A = this chain, B = another copy of it.
Amino acid sequence: MNDIAQTPEPPYYAVIFTSVRTPGDHGYAATAQRMLMLAEQQPGFLGYEPARQESFGISVSYWSSLEAIKSWREHSEHRKIQSMADQWYSKSCIRICKVERSY
């Protein structure tokens, strides 16, 4: 089961990814697992929290800096997957945030 990410004291960064899935898998589950494995290996990766309820999902990844987020976004395999995302999501939104406080 998913759990709350163990993140350090702020400040750090969060990427909130909200999405509505298309019907069917289309290789989604395997790709998501592969992307998480790659993300976890990136410098500055701090944690990941996903939840999907019916077709609507929120996932939050945590990073030490904006540079770490940028490096992950530009990762070659990640970029390739981003270009294929339309088959999995009917809509999506990415919000880049600075976590200022947590409790």
Contacts and interface: CB of A to CB of B under 8 A. Distances in A.
Interface of A: 1-5, 7, 10, 14, 16, 18-20, 49-60, 91-103
Given A51-B58, A53-B51, A58-B60, A93 B18 contact: no
A98 B95 contact: no
**Which residue, A7, A55, A99, has most C-beta atoms of chain B within 10 A?**
A99
B52 A53 contact: yes
A95 B101 contact: yes
A94 B102 contact: yes
Contacts of A16: 14, 16, 60, 99
Contact of A49 (B5, B18, B96): B18
